[in-house]
Amino acid sequence: MAQSVYEFMAKNIDGNEVSLADYQGRVLLIVNVASKCGFTPQYDGLEKLYEKYRQRGFDVLGFPSNQFLSQEPGSESEIKSFCELNYKVKFPLFSKIDVNGANAHPLYEFLKAAQPGLLGTRKIKWNFTKFLIDRRGKPIKRYAPRTKPEEIDTDIQAALGS
């Protein structure tokens, strides 16, 4: 069983394999995202958090998923363009993954086990479920899709050690 998010690899939105160990020592907010969801405007808040805290050691990592009513149907290049054009997203985006089921990405299996949802559920309920990761790569909090990025600000400050 993995001990931290740093033990995982994932393809970025450009198709290159990335080790999450590249983010060692940083506070992370890992989010499963989608372009055609009622929560899609959260991209704006996520980017604002990224801009506000990245110089202090914070990153948002966006993982597109098409598992919820096919709300992320586009290709990686379409997703990247959508995010850049509509929300000026500069935080790292990754290739489309499954977050639930037999083909769920191992990172998400780890996150769900470390921070189960309401009533101990291991499933991701919807797009824009968020996981806050401390500087040691440990998931410390899980947020529901309806939790707005700005509501996480205080927890990010605490994780950053301010």
pLDDT at 162: 59
pTM for the whole thing?
A: 0.96
* 135 close to 57: Cβ distance less than 8 angstroms: yes
By C-alpha distance, which of 62, 63, 61 is closest to 23? 61
- H helices within 29-89, ranges in order? 42-53, 76-87
The arithmetic mean of pLDDT across residues 111-135, rounded, is: 92
Cα 57-58-60 angle, rounded to 5 deg? 155
**146: alpha, beta or left? (left if phi > 0; alpha if psi -120 to 50):** alpha
**Strand ranges (E), the chain:** 9-11, 17-19, 27-33, 58-64, 130-133, 139-143
Q: How many CA atoms lie within 13 A of 52 on its CB side?
A: 14
Look at the chain and count its residues: 162
Q: Which residues are catalytic?
A: 37
Q: What is the pLDDT of residue 120?
A: 81
Q: Please, what are the domains in the chain?
A: 5-160 (3.40.30.10)
Q: What is the pLDDT of residue 71?
A: 94
79-88 CB burial, b ≥16 within 10 A, e <16: bbebbeeebe
Q: In the predicted model, is pLDDT for residue 129 greater than 80?
A: yes
pLDDT of 44-69, one tens digit each? 999 999 999 999 999 999 999 999 99
Return the structure tokens found at 114: 């470390």
